[in-house]
Chain A
Protein backbone atom coordinates (compact mmCIF):
# COMPACT_ATOMS: atom_id res chain seq x y z
CA UNK A 1 0.00 0.00 0.00
CA UNK A 2 1.29 3.51 -0.76
CA UNK A 3 1.80 6.21 1.86
CA UNK A 4 -1.29 8.03 0.61
CA UNK A 5 -4.07 5.80 1.93
CA UNK A 6 -6.94 8.12 0.99
CA UNK A 7 -5.82 9.25 -2.42
CA UNK A 8 -6.81 8.36 -5.97
CA UNK A 9 -4.06 8.28 -8.57
CA UNK A 10 -4.93 7.61 -12.19
CA UNK A 11 -2.60 7.46 -15.16
CA UNK A 12 -3.55 6.91 -18.78
CA UNK A 13 -6.78 5.12 -17.91
CA UNK A 14 -8.58 3.75 -20.96
CA UNK A 15 -11.77 1.76 -21.40
CA UNK A 16 -12.86 0.49 -24.77
CA UNK A 17 -16.10 -1.36 -25.35
CA UNK A 18 -16.54 -3.87 -28.16
CA UNK A 19 -17.83 -2.19 -31.31
CA UNK A 20 -18.00 1.11 -29.43
CA UNK A 21 -15.94 4.24 -29.02
CA UNK A 22 -13.35 4.69 -26.29
CA UNK A 23 -15.63 5.56 -23.40
CA UNK A 24 -12.59 6.68 -21.41
CA UNK A 25 -9.65 7.77 -23.48
CA UNK A 26 -6.47 8.02 -21.45
CA UNK A 27 -7.31 10.12 -18.43
CA UNK A 28 -4.85 11.21 -15.75
CA UNK A 29 -6.03 12.57 -12.44
CA UNK A 30 -5.07 12.77 -8.82
CA UNK A 31 -7.39 13.25 -5.89
CA UNK A 32 -5.83 14.28 -2.59
CA UNK A 33 -6.86 12.76 0.76
CA UNK A 34 -9.93 14.45 2.21
CA UNK A 35 -10.65 16.29 -1.02
CA UNK A 36 -14.00 16.48 -2.82
CA UNK A 37 -13.25 16.02 -6.49
CA UNK A 38 -16.04 16.90 -8.89
CA UNK A 39 -16.01 15.01 -12.17
CA UNK A 40 -18.13 17.14 -14.44
CA UNK A 41 -19.34 16.30 -17.89
CA UNK A 42 -22.37 15.74 -20.07
CA UNK A 43 -24.19 12.43 -20.46
CA UNK A 44 -22.02 9.91 -22.25
CA UNK A 45 -18.77 11.74 -21.48
CA UNK A 46 -17.25 8.76 -19.65
CA UNK A 47 -17.94 9.70 -16.02
CA UNK A 48 -19.73 6.53 -14.97
CA UNK A 49 -17.30 4.29 -16.85
CA UNK A 50 -14.48 5.94 -14.91
CA UNK A 51 -16.29 5.34 -11.63
CA UNK A 52 -16.90 1.69 -12.50
CA UNK A 53 -13.19 1.23 -13.17
CA UNK A 54 -12.11 3.03 -10.01
CA UNK A 55 -14.54 0.97 -7.92
CA UNK A 56 -13.17 -2.28 -9.46
CA UNK A 57 -16.46 -3.18 -11.16
CA UNK A 58 -15.01 -2.84 -14.65
CA UNK A 59 -11.45 -3.72 -15.65
CA UNK A 60 -9.63 -0.96 -17.53
CA UNK A 61 -8.45 -1.65 -21.07
CA UNK A 62 -5.19 0.20 -20.38
CA UNK A 63 -3.61 2.51 -17.83
CA UNK A 64 -3.28 2.31 -14.09
CA UNK A 65 -5.31 3.46 -11.14
CA UNK A 66 -4.56 3.32 -7.45
CA UNK A 67 -7.39 3.85 -5.02
CA UNK A 68 -6.66 4.11 -1.33
CA UNK A 69 -3.13 2.97 -2.10
CA UNK A 70 -4.23 -0.20 -3.90
CA UNK A 71 -4.08 -1.02 -7.59
CA UNK A 72 -7.61 -1.45 -8.93
CA UNK A 73 -6.63 -4.37 -11.17
CA UNK A 74 -4.27 -6.32 -8.92
CA UNK A 75 -5.83 -5.54 -5.54
CA UNK A 76 -9.57 -5.41 -6.33
CA UNK A 77 -10.72 -7.01 -3.05
CA UNK A 78 -8.52 -4.65 -0.99
CA UNK A 79 -9.84 -1.62 -2.88
CA UNK A 80 -13.38 -2.70 -2.08
CA UNK A 81 -12.65 -2.77 1.65
CA UNK A 82 -11.65 0.91 1.71
CA UNK A 83 -14.23 2.42 -0.63
CA UNK A 84 -17.93 3.12 -0.46
CA UNK A 85 -19.97 3.77 -3.57
CA UNK A 86 -23.39 5.02 -4.50
CA UNK A 87 -23.72 4.31 -8.18
CA UNK A 88 -25.92 6.05 -10.71
CA UNK A 89 -29.08 4.11 -9.92
CA UNK A 90 -29.95 3.82 -6.24
CA UNK A 91 -29.88 0.01 -6.35
CA UNK A 92 -32.34 -0.85 -3.63
CA UNK A 93 -34.75 -3.70 -3.09
CA UNK A 94 -38.29 -2.29 -3.03
CA UNK A 95 -39.49 -5.14 -0.84
CA UNK A 96 -36.97 -4.53 1.94
CA UNK A 97 -37.18 -1.75 4.51
CA UNK A 98 -34.44 0.81 5.04
CA UNK A 99 -33.39 -1.01 8.18
CA UNK A 100 -33.35 -4.37 6.33
CA UNK A 101 -30.99 -2.86 3.79
CA UNK A 102 -28.61 -1.58 6.43
CA UNK A 103 -28.70 -4.88 8.30
CA UNK A 104 -27.91 -6.78 5.10
CA UNK A 105 -25.18 -4.37 4.03
CA UNK A 106 -23.50 -4.34 7.44
CA UNK A 107 -23.44 -8.15 7.49
CA UNK A 108 -22.04 -8.38 3.97
CA UNK A 109 -19.40 -5.78 4.87
CA UNK A 110 -18.31 -7.86 7.83
CA UNK A 111 -19.41 -5.50 10.61
CA UNK A 112 -19.34 -7.35 13.94
CA UNK A 113 -22.76 -8.73 14.90
CA UNK A 114 -22.90 -6.66 18.11
CA UNK A 115 -22.23 -3.41 16.24
CA UNK A 116 -24.66 -3.82 13.34
CA UNK A 117 -27.77 -2.55 15.08
CA UNK A 118 -26.09 0.54 16.49
CA UNK A 119 -24.33 1.34 13.21
CA UNK A 120 -27.60 1.01 11.29
CA UNK A 121 -29.42 3.28 13.72
CA UNK A 122 -26.60 5.82 13.61
CA UNK A 123 -26.64 5.97 9.81
CA UNK A 124 -30.43 6.11 9.59
CA UNK A 125 -30.33 9.04 12.00
CA UNK A 126 -27.57 10.76 10.06
CA UNK A 127 -29.45 10.62 6.75
CA UNK A 128 -32.77 11.51 8.36
CA UNK A 129 -34.50 8.20 7.76
CA UNK A 130 -35.07 7.00 11.33
CA UNK A 131 -38.82 7.44 11.12
CA UNK A 132 -39.07 5.73 7.74
CA UNK A 133 -36.63 2.96 8.65
CA UNK A 134 -39.25 0.24 8.93
CA UNK A 135 -41.14 1.14 5.78
CA UNK A 136 -40.55 -0.73 2.53
CA UNK A 137 -38.20 1.13 0.23
CA UNK A 138 -40.69 0.80 -2.63
CA UNK A 139 -42.64 3.62 -0.96
CA UNK A 140 -39.66 5.97 -0.53
CA UNK A 141 -39.30 9.18 -2.52
CA UNK A 142 -36.32 9.67 -4.82
CA UNK A 143 -34.56 11.78 -2.20
CA UNK A 144 -35.09 9.18 0.52
CA UNK A 145 -33.71 6.45 -1.73
CA UNK A 146 -30.62 8.53 -2.47
CA UNK A 147 -30.06 9.18 1.22
CA UNK A 148 -30.42 5.48 2.02
CA UNK A 149 -28.02 4.71 -0.80
CA UNK A 150 -25.50 7.08 0.79
CA UNK A 151 -26.01 5.47 4.21
CA UNK A 152 -25.38 2.03 2.70
CA UNK A 153 -22.17 3.26 1.12
CA UNK A 154 -20.97 4.43 4.53
CA UNK A 155 -21.76 1.30 6.56
CA UNK A 156 -18.16 0.09 6.79
CA UNK A 157 -16.67 3.57 7.36
CA UNK A 158 -14.92 3.83 3.98
CA UNK A 159 -11.97 6.15 3.54
CA UNK A 160 -12.98 6.99 0.01
CA UNK A 161 -16.46 7.58 -1.32
CA UNK A 162 -17.60 7.41 -4.94
CA UNK A 163 -20.86 9.12 -5.76
CA UNK A 164 -22.11 8.79 -9.32
CA UNK A 165 -24.57 11.60 -10.06
CA UNK A 166 -25.99 11.41 -6.54
CA UNK A 167 -28.48 14.23 -6.92
CA UNK A 168 -29.87 13.54 -10.38
CA UNK A 169 -33.64 13.84 -10.25
CA UNK A 170 -33.76 15.24 -6.71
CA UNK A 171 -35.71 18.27 -5.64
CA UNK A 172 -33.63 21.29 -4.52
CA UNK A 173 -34.23 20.62 -0.82
CA UNK A 174 -33.05 17.00 -1.02
CA UNK A 175 -30.12 18.06 -3.17
CA UNK A 176 -28.99 20.63 -0.62
CA UNK A 177 -29.34 18.12 2.23
CA UNK A 178 -27.17 15.63 0.37
CA UNK A 179 -24.56 18.28 -0.40
CA UNK A 180 -24.36 19.17 3.28
CA UNK A 181 -23.86 15.55 4.26
CA UNK A 182 -21.15 14.98 1.64
CA UNK A 183 -19.36 18.17 2.68
CA UNK A 184 -19.55 17.09 6.31
CA UNK A 185 -18.07 13.69 5.50
CA UNK A 186 -15.04 15.27 3.88
CA UNK A 187 -14.65 18.03 6.45
CA UNK A 188 -15.20 16.11 9.69
CA UNK A 189 -14.38 12.51 8.79
CA UNK A 190 -11.63 13.18 6.26
CA UNK A 191 -13.33 11.03 3.62
CA UNK A 192 -12.06 11.53 0.09
CA UNK A 193 -15.02 12.04 -2.23
CA UNK A 194 -15.06 11.41 -5.97
CA UNK A 195 -18.31 12.86 -7.25
CA UNK A 196 -19.58 12.77 -10.79
CA UNK A 197 -22.17 15.26 -11.83
CA UNK A 198 -23.64 17.00 -14.80
CA UNK A 199 -24.78 19.89 -12.65
CA UNK A 200 -22.50 22.90 -12.78
CA UNK A 201 -23.82 24.27 -9.52
CA UNK A 202 -23.11 21.01 -7.73
CA UNK A 203 -19.49 20.97 -8.82
CA UNK A 204 -19.13 24.66 -8.08
CA UNK A 205 -20.61 24.51 -4.58
CA UNK A 206 -19.29 21.18 -3.41
CA UNK A 207 -15.99 20.36 -5.08
CA UNK A 208 -12.56 21.49 -3.97
CA UNK A 209 -11.33 20.66 -7.44
CA UNK A 210 -13.11 19.87 -10.66
CA UNK A 211 -12.15 17.74 -13.64
CA UNK A 212 -14.14 18.38 -16.78
CA UNK A 213 -14.51 15.34 -19.01
CA UNK A 214 -15.75 15.30 -22.57
CA UNK A 215 -15.65 12.41 -25.05
CA UNK A 216 -13.62 10.37 -22.57
CA UNK A 217 -10.89 12.98 -22.10
CA UNK A 218 -10.26 15.45 -19.33
CA UNK A 219 -10.36 18.84 -21.00
CA UNK A 220 -9.80 21.00 -17.90
CA UNK A 221 -8.91 20.51 -14.28
CA UNK A 222 -8.47 22.75 -11.27
CA UNK A 223 -10.35 24.51 -8.51
CA UNK A 224 -13.64 26.02 -9.68
CA UNK A 225 -12.21 29.46 -8.99
CA UNK A 226 -9.02 28.81 -10.94
CA UNK A 227 -10.92 27.37 -13.88
CA UNK A 228 -13.22 30.35 -14.02
CA UNK A 229 -10.24 32.67 -13.69
CA UNK A 230 -8.76 31.04 -16.80
CA UNK A 231 -11.78 32.34 -18.65
CA UNK A 232 -11.29 35.59 -16.79
CA UNK A 233 -13.63 38.05 -18.38
CA UNK A 234 -17.40 37.96 -18.49
CA UNK A 235 -19.31 37.35 -21.66
CA UNK A 236 -22.24 39.28 -22.99
CA UNK A 237 -24.75 37.48 -25.11
CA UNK A 238 -27.20 39.18 -27.46
CA UNK A 239 -30.18 37.52 -29.06
CA UNK A 240 -31.26 39.47 -32.16
CA UNK A 241 -34.97 40.25 -32.33
CA UNK A 242 -34.88 39.67 -36.08
CA UNK A 243 -33.04 36.67 -37.50
CA UNK A 244 -31.83 38.72 -40.49
CA UNK A 245 -29.81 40.92 -38.14
CA UNK A 246 -27.66 38.01 -36.99
CA UNK A 247 -24.59 38.97 -39.02
CA UNK A 248 -24.84 42.68 -38.15
CA UNK A 249 -25.17 41.94 -34.42
CA UNK A 250 -22.19 39.64 -34.66
CA UNK A 251 -20.13 42.35 -36.37
CA UNK A 252 -21.14 44.93 -33.76
CA UNK A 253 -20.24 42.65 -30.87
CA UNK A 254 -16.94 41.60 -32.39
CA UNK A 255 -15.65 45.12 -31.81
CA UNK A 256 -15.73 44.53 -28.02
CA UNK A 257 -13.83 41.28 -27.70
CA UNK A 258 -13.49 37.78 -29.07
CA UNK A 259 -16.62 36.00 -30.16
CA UNK A 260 -17.27 32.82 -28.22
CA UNK A 261 -18.05 29.72 -30.23
CA UNK A 262 -21.41 28.41 -29.03
CA UNK A 263 -23.81 30.24 -26.78
CA UNK A 264 -26.34 29.67 -24.04
CA UNK A 265 -29.33 30.51 -26.23
CA UNK A 266 -30.27 29.13 -29.60
CA UNK A 267 -29.87 32.38 -31.56
CA UNK A 268 -27.50 34.08 -29.16
CA UNK A 269 -24.21 35.64 -30.15
CA UNK A 270 -21.71 35.79 -27.32
CA UNK A 271 -18.59 37.88 -26.95
CA UNK A 272 -16.02 37.79 -24.16
CA UNK A 273 -15.69 41.43 -23.15
CA UNK A 274 -12.16 42.78 -23.61
CA UNK A 275 -12.76 45.55 -21.09
CA UNK A 276 -14.56 43.36 -18.56
CA UNK A 277 -17.97 44.26 -17.20
CA UNK A 278 -17.44 47.99 -17.86
CA UNK A 279 -17.67 47.26 -21.59
CA UNK A 280 -21.35 46.38 -21.30
CA UNK A 281 -22.55 49.99 -21.63
CA UNK A 282 -20.50 50.40 -24.82
CA UNK A 283 -22.10 47.26 -26.26
CA UNK A 284 -25.59 48.63 -25.59
CA UNK A 285 -24.68 51.99 -27.15
CA UNK A 286 -23.17 50.31 -30.22
CA UNK A 287 -26.23 48.13 -30.83
CA UNK A 288 -28.46 51.20 -30.42
CA UNK A 289 -26.34 53.26 -32.80
CA UNK A 290 -26.61 50.54 -35.45
CA UNK A 291 -30.38 50.42 -34.93
CA UNK A 292 -30.24 46.76 -33.94
CA UNK A 293 -33.03 45.45 -31.73
CA UNK A 294 -32.24 42.56 -29.44
CA UNK A 295 -34.68 40.29 -27.67
CA UNK A 296 -32.32 39.46 -24.83
CA UNK A 297 -29.03 40.86 -23.66
CA UNK A 298 -27.41 38.83 -20.93
CA UNK A 299 -24.22 39.33 -18.97
CA UNK A 300 -22.63 36.10 -17.80
CA UNK A 301 -20.06 36.07 -15.04
CA UNK A 302 -17.56 33.29 -15.83
CA UNK A 303 -19.04 29.94 -14.86
CA UNK A 304 -17.92 26.34 -15.20
CA UNK A 305 -20.18 26.19 -18.23
CA UNK A 306 -18.06 28.95 -19.77
CA UNK A 307 -15.02 26.84 -19.01
CA UNK A 308 -16.68 23.89 -20.75
CA UNK A 309 -17.71 26.14 -23.61
CA UNK A 310 -14.19 27.52 -23.95
CA UNK A 311 -12.61 24.06 -23.89
CA UNK A 312 -15.05 22.20 -26.11
CA UNK A 313 -16.87 24.84 -28.13
CA UNK A 314 -20.19 23.63 -26.72
CA UNK A 315 -22.37 24.46 -23.77
CA UNK A 316 -22.58 21.71 -21.13
CA UNK A 317 -26.37 21.68 -21.24
CA UNK A 318 -27.40 19.33 -24.03
CA UNK A 319 -23.78 18.49 -24.83
CA UNK A 320 -24.47 14.84 -24.17
CA UNK A 321 -26.92 14.60 -27.04
CA UNK A 322 -24.38 14.90 -29.82
CA UNK A 323 -23.27 11.33 -30.05
CA UNK A 324 -20.43 11.50 -27.59
CA UNK A 325 -18.98 8.58 -25.67
CA UNK A 326 -20.95 5.72 -24.26
CA UNK A 327 -21.89 5.40 -20.61
CA UNK A 328 -22.42 1.80 -19.54
Chain B
Protein backbone atom coordinates (compact mmCIF):
# COMPACT_ATOMS: atom_id res chain seq x y z
CA UNK B 1 0.00 0.00 0.00
CA UNK B 2 2.87 2.33 0.91
CA UNK B 3 4.61 1.43 -2.34
CA UNK B 4 1.48 2.17 -4.35
CA UNK B 5 1.13 5.54 -2.61
CA UNK B 6 4.72 6.49 -3.37
CA UNK B 7 4.32 5.36 -7.00
CA UNK B 8 1.17 7.44 -7.38
CA UNK B 9 2.93 10.40 -5.74
CA UNK B 10 5.96 10.09 -8.04
CA UNK B 11 3.80 10.06 -11.15
CA UNK B 12 1.74 13.00 -9.90
CA UNK B 13 4.94 14.91 -9.18
CA UNK B 14 6.15 14.19 -12.70
CA UNK B 15 2.90 15.55 -14.10
CA UNK B 16 3.17 18.74 -12.05
CA UNK B 17 6.87 19.16 -12.90
CA UNK B 18 6.16 18.77 -16.60
CA UNK B 19 3.45 21.41 -16.49
CA UNK B 20 5.57 23.81 -14.46
CA UNK B 21 8.38 23.48 -17.00
CA UNK B 22 6.25 24.29 -20.01
CA UNK B 23 4.52 27.61 -19.31
CA UNK B 24 2.83 27.41 -22.72
CA UNK B 25 0.65 24.61 -21.37
CA UNK B 26 0.32 25.91 -17.79
CA UNK B 27 -0.68 29.51 -18.44
CA UNK B 28 -3.58 29.24 -20.95
CA UNK B 29 -5.80 27.17 -18.61
CA UNK B 30 -5.51 30.01 -16.11
CA UNK B 31 -5.34 33.04 -18.36
CA UNK B 32 -8.00 32.17 -20.92
CA UNK B 33 -10.90 31.46 -18.53
CA UNK B 34 -10.06 34.52 -16.42
CA UNK B 35 -9.91 36.74 -19.52
CA UNK B 36 -13.20 35.38 -20.82
CA UNK B 37 -14.80 35.91 -17.43
CA UNK B 38 -13.63 39.53 -17.26
CA UNK B 39 -14.80 40.25 -20.82
CA UNK B 40 -18.18 38.67 -20.15
CA UNK B 41 -18.50 40.50 -16.84
CA UNK B 42 -17.88 43.81 -18.57
CA UNK B 43 -20.17 43.13 -21.53
CA UNK B 44 -23.05 41.33 -19.86
CA UNK B 45 -23.31 43.32 -16.65
CA UNK B 46 -26.67 44.71 -17.79
CA UNK B 47 -28.09 41.18 -17.46
CA UNK B 48 -28.14 41.65 -13.70
CA UNK B 49 -31.05 44.07 -14.16
CA UNK B 50 -33.24 41.26 -15.52
CA UNK B 51 -36.04 40.41 -13.07
CA UNK B 52 -35.10 37.29 -11.14
CA UNK B 53 -31.35 37.52 -11.82
CA UNK B 54 -29.79 36.05 -8.69
CA UNK B 55 -27.14 38.74 -8.04
CA UNK B 56 -26.32 42.32 -8.85
CA UNK B 57 -22.70 41.47 -9.72
CA UNK B 58 -22.23 39.69 -13.05
CA UNK B 59 -18.61 39.05 -12.07
CA UNK B 60 -19.81 37.02 -9.09
CA UNK B 61 -22.24 35.21 -11.40
CA UNK B 62 -19.57 34.52 -14.02
CA UNK B 63 -16.85 33.48 -11.57
CA UNK B 64 -18.19 29.92 -11.60
CA UNK B 65 -17.41 29.48 -15.28
CA UNK B 66 -13.57 29.48 -15.12
CA UNK B 67 -13.65 26.58 -12.66
CA UNK B 68 -15.33 24.38 -15.23
CA UNK B 69 -13.52 25.87 -18.20
CA UNK B 70 -10.18 25.24 -16.48
CA UNK B 71 -11.21 21.65 -15.86
CA UNK B 72 -11.90 21.26 -19.57
CA UNK B 73 -8.38 22.50 -20.27
CA UNK B 74 -7.21 19.84 -17.83
CA UNK B 75 -8.93 17.25 -19.98
CA UNK B 76 -6.93 18.34 -22.97
CA UNK B 77 -3.64 18.62 -21.12
CA UNK B 78 -4.03 15.28 -19.36
CA UNK B 79 -4.99 13.59 -22.60
CA UNK B 80 -2.24 15.19 -24.64
CA UNK B 81 0.43 14.30 -22.07
CA UNK B 82 -0.69 10.70 -21.87
CA UNK B 83 -0.96 10.42 -25.65
CA UNK B 84 2.61 11.69 -25.92
CA UNK B 85 3.70 9.04 -23.43
CA UNK B 86 2.05 6.41 -25.60
CA UNK B 87 3.60 7.76 -28.79
CA UNK B 88 7.16 7.98 -27.47
CA UNK B 89 7.11 4.69 -25.58
CA UNK B 90 7.16 6.19 -22.08
CA UNK B 91 4.02 4.23 -21.22
CA UNK B 92 5.93 1.04 -22.03
CA UNK B 93 8.64 2.16 -19.63
CA UNK B 94 5.98 2.53 -16.91
CA UNK B 95 4.42 -0.79 -17.92
CA UNK B 96 7.78 -2.50 -17.38
CA UNK B 97 7.83 -1.53 -13.72
CA UNK B 98 6.00 -3.39 -11.01
CA UNK B 99 3.28 -0.78 -10.71
CA UNK B 100 -0.37 -1.67 -11.28
CA UNK B 101 -2.54 -0.10 -13.94
CA UNK B 102 -4.75 1.49 -11.30
CA UNK B 103 -1.70 3.16 -9.71
CA UNK B 104 -0.64 4.43 -13.11
CA UNK B 105 -4.02 5.99 -13.71
CA UNK B 106 -4.16 7.40 -10.19
CA UNK B 107 -0.71 8.93 -10.66
CA UNK B 108 -1.74 10.64 -13.88
CA UNK B 109 -4.91 11.94 -12.23
CA UNK B 110 -3.05 13.01 -9.08
CA UNK B 111 -1.08 15.51 -11.10
CA UNK B 112 -4.23 16.80 -12.77
CA UNK B 113 -5.94 17.29 -9.40
CA UNK B 114 -2.99 19.28 -8.06
CA UNK B 115 -3.04 21.50 -11.15
CA UNK B 116 -6.83 21.78 -10.95
CA UNK B 117 -6.55 22.99 -7.36
CA UNK B 118 -3.88 25.52 -8.26
CA UNK B 119 -6.14 26.84 -11.02
CA UNK B 120 -9.10 26.99 -8.64
CA UNK B 121 -7.11 29.00 -6.10
CA UNK B 122 -6.04 31.45 -8.80
CA UNK B 123 -9.65 31.94 -9.99
CA UNK B 124 -10.75 32.40 -6.44
CA UNK B 125 -8.05 34.96 -5.67
CA UNK B 126 -8.86 36.87 -8.88
CA UNK B 127 -12.55 36.90 -7.97
CA UNK B 128 -11.97 38.03 -4.40
CA UNK B 129 -9.48 40.66 -5.57
CA UNK B 130 -12.13 41.97 -7.97
CA UNK B 131 -14.51 42.42 -5.09
CA UNK B 132 -16.65 39.29 -5.22
CA UNK B 133 -18.19 38.31 -1.87
CA UNK B 134 -18.00 34.60 -1.22
CA UNK B 135 -21.45 33.91 0.20
CA UNK B 136 -20.72 30.51 1.75
CA UNK B 137 -17.66 31.76 3.63
CA UNK B 138 -14.41 29.93 4.40
CA UNK B 139 -16.12 26.54 4.66
CA UNK B 140 -17.60 27.16 1.24
CA UNK B 141 -14.10 27.75 -0.10
CA UNK B 142 -13.07 24.33 1.14
CA UNK B 143 -16.17 22.76 -0.41
CA UNK B 144 -15.41 24.56 -3.65
CA UNK B 145 -11.84 23.23 -3.68
CA UNK B 146 -13.09 19.71 -3.03
CA UNK B 147 -15.54 20.15 -5.88
CA UNK B 148 -12.75 21.44 -8.16
CA UNK B 149 -10.70 18.34 -7.33
CA UNK B 150 -13.65 16.06 -8.11
CA UNK B 151 -14.33 17.81 -11.41
CA UNK B 152 -10.62 17.58 -12.30
CA UNK B 153 -10.68 13.84 -11.70
CA UNK B 154 -13.76 13.42 -13.88
CA UNK B 155 -12.53 15.50 -16.79
CA UNK B 156 -8.94 14.32 -16.37
CA UNK B 157 -10.04 10.69 -16.54
CA UNK B 158 -12.02 11.56 -19.66
CA UNK B 159 -8.83 12.99 -21.19
CA UNK B 160 -6.92 9.84 -20.21
CA UNK B 161 -9.64 7.68 -21.76
CA UNK B 162 -9.47 9.59 -25.04
CA UNK B 163 -5.67 9.37 -25.05
CA UNK B 164 -5.68 5.66 -24.35
CA UNK B 165 -8.26 5.01 -27.05
CA UNK B 166 -6.71 7.18 -29.75
CA UNK B 167 -3.04 7.20 -28.74
CA UNK B 168 -2.76 10.56 -30.45
CA UNK B 169 -2.25 14.02 -28.96
CA UNK B 170 -3.57 15.56 -32.17
CA UNK B 171 -6.83 13.62 -31.82
CA UNK B 172 -7.26 14.93 -28.28
CA UNK B 173 -6.74 18.49 -29.42
CA UNK B 174 -9.21 17.90 -32.22
CA UNK B 175 -11.85 16.77 -29.72
CA UNK B 176 -11.30 19.75 -27.44
CA UNK B 177 -13.63 22.19 -29.28
CA UNK B 178 -16.33 19.52 -29.13
CA UNK B 179 -16.05 19.45 -25.33
CA UNK B 180 -16.29 23.23 -25.26
CA UNK B 181 -19.68 23.04 -26.96
CA UNK B 182 -20.99 21.54 -23.71
CA UNK B 183 -19.81 24.62 -21.87
CA UNK B 184 -21.37 27.10 -24.27
CA UNK B 185 -24.67 25.18 -24.32
CA UNK B 186 -24.98 25.39 -20.54
CA UNK B 187 -26.17 28.01 -18.06
CA UNK B 188 -22.76 29.66 -18.13
CA UNK B 189 -24.07 33.11 -19.13
CA UNK B 190 -27.62 33.12 -17.77
CA UNK B 191 -29.65 31.29 -15.14
CA UNK B 192 -31.58 28.50 -16.84
CA UNK B 193 -34.98 29.94 -15.89
CA UNK B 194 -34.06 33.20 -17.61
CA UNK B 195 -32.99 31.63 -20.92
CA UNK B 196 -35.62 32.82 -23.37
CA UNK B 197 -34.95 30.43 -26.26
CA UNK B 198 -36.82 27.17 -25.61
CA UNK B 199 -34.40 24.75 -27.29
CA UNK B 200 -31.42 26.40 -25.59
CA UNK B 201 -33.12 26.18 -22.19
CA UNK B 202 -33.90 22.50 -22.85
CA UNK B 203 -30.32 21.71 -23.88
CA UNK B 204 -28.93 23.62 -20.90
CA UNK B 205 -31.26 21.68 -18.61
CA UNK B 206 -30.12 18.26 -19.84
CA UNK B 207 -26.49 19.35 -20.01
CA UNK B 208 -24.57 18.13 -16.93
CA UNK B 209 -22.13 21.03 -17.25
CA UNK B 210 -24.97 23.41 -16.20
CA UNK B 211 -25.22 21.64 -12.83
CA UNK B 212 -21.45 21.77 -12.31
CA UNK B 213 -21.48 25.52 -12.91
CA UNK B 214 -24.56 26.04 -10.75
CA UNK B 215 -22.95 24.21 -7.83
CA UNK B 216 -19.97 26.58 -7.86
CA UNK B 217 -22.22 29.55 -8.51
CA UNK B 218 -24.45 28.75 -5.57
CA UNK B 219 -21.46 28.62 -3.22
CA UNK B 220 -20.35 32.04 -4.46
CA UNK B 221 -23.59 33.98 -4.69
CA UNK B 222 -26.25 32.10 -2.72
CA UNK B 223 -24.49 30.44 0.18
CA UNK B 224 -25.61 26.92 1.06
CA UNK B 225 -28.09 25.86 -1.63
CA UNK B 226 -28.23 22.17 -0.77
CA UNK B 227 -30.01 21.15 -3.95
CA UNK B 228 -27.53 22.88 -6.26
CA UNK B 229 -24.57 21.52 -4.31
CA UNK B 230 -25.98 18.00 -4.26
CA UNK B 231 -26.74 18.09 -7.98
CA UNK B 232 -23.24 19.44 -8.73
CA UNK B 233 -21.47 16.82 -6.65
CA UNK B 234 -23.80 14.16 -8.00
CA UNK B 235 -23.09 14.97 -11.63
CA UNK B 236 -19.36 15.46 -10.99
CA UNK B 237 -19.27 12.10 -9.22
CA UNK B 238 -21.18 10.41 -12.01
CA UNK B 239 -18.91 11.91 -14.67
CA UNK B 240 -15.92 10.80 -12.59
CA UNK B 241 -17.18 7.24 -12.20
CA UNK B 242 -18.03 6.83 -15.87
CA UNK B 243 -14.77 8.42 -17.02
CA UNK B 244 -12.69 6.36 -14.61
CA UNK B 245 -14.38 3.16 -15.72
CA UNK B 246 -13.79 4.05 -19.36
CA UNK B 247 -10.17 5.03 -18.70
CA UNK B 248 -9.47 1.88 -16.69
CA UNK B 249 -10.90 -0.29 -19.48
CA UNK B 250 -8.94 1.55 -22.14
CA UNK B 251 -5.74 1.27 -20.08
CA UNK B 252 -6.20 -2.46 -19.74
CA UNK B 253 -6.62 -2.74 -23.48
CA UNK B 254 -3.67 -0.45 -24.23
CA UNK B 255 -1.36 -2.24 -21.80
CA UNK B 256 -1.37 -5.64 -23.39
CA UNK B 257 1.24 -6.78 -20.86
CA UNK B 258 0.77 -10.21 -19.33
Residues of A within 8 A of B257 (CB): 56-58, 76, 80
Quick check: A87 and B7 within 8 Å, CB to CB? no
Is B94's CB within 8 Å of the partner chain A?
yes
Inter-chain CA distance A72–B256, complex, in Å, is 12
Cβ contact of A91, chosen from B7, B18, B90, cutoff 8 A: B90
| Interface core residue of B14, B17, B96 (most chain A CB under 10 Å) | B96
Inter-chain CA distance A245–B79, complex, in Å, is 63
Cβ contact of B18, chosen from A77, A80, A93, cutoff 8 A: A93
Residues of A within 8 A of B96 (CB): 55-57, 80, 83, 85
CB distance from B92 to the nearest CB of A (A): 6
Interface residues in A104-161 by Cβ distance below 8 A to B read 104-105, 107-110, 113, 136, 152
Residues of A within 8 A of B93 (CB): 87, 91, 105, 152
CB distance from B97 to the nearest CB of A (A): 4
Residues of B within 8 A of A79 (CB): 258
Is A100's CB within 8 Å of the partner chain B?
yes
| Interface core residue of B14, B22, B85, B88 (most chain A CB under 10 Å) | B14
Quick check: A59 and B256 within 8 Å, CB to CB? yes
CB distance from B49 to the nearest CB of A (A): 49
Is B10's CB within 8 Å of the partner chain A?
yes
Quick check: A100 and B17 within 8 Å, CB to CB? yes
Inter-chain CA distance A107–B99, complex, in Å, is 10
Quick check: B98 and A104 within 8 Å, CB to CB? no
Is B6's CB within 8 Å of the partner chain A?
yes
Is A96's CB within 8 Å of the partner chain B?
yes
Is A185's CB within 8 Å of the partner chain B?
no
Interface residues in B84-117 by Cβ distance below 8 A to A read 85, 88-90, 92-99
Quick check: B92 and A108 within 8 Å, CB to CB? no
Inter-chain CA distance A11–B220, complex, in Å, is 67
Cβ contact of A104, chosen from B10, B21, B89, cutoff 8 A: B10
Quick check: A100 and B256 within 8 Å, CB to CB? no
Quick check: B14 and A58 within 8 Å, CB to CB? no
Interface residues in B1-41 by Cβ distance below 8 A to A read 3, 6-7, 9-11, 13-14, 17-18, 21-22
Query: Can you sample 13 A-B contacts with CB below 8 Å?
Result: A56-B257, A76-B257, A79-B258, A80-B96, A80-B98, A85-B96, A87-B93, A91-B93, A96-B17, A100-B14, A104-B10, A104-B11, A110-B3
List 7 tightest A-B contacts by C-beta distance, closest first: A91-B89, A76-B258, A107-B10, A108-B97, A91-B90, A89-B89, A91-B93
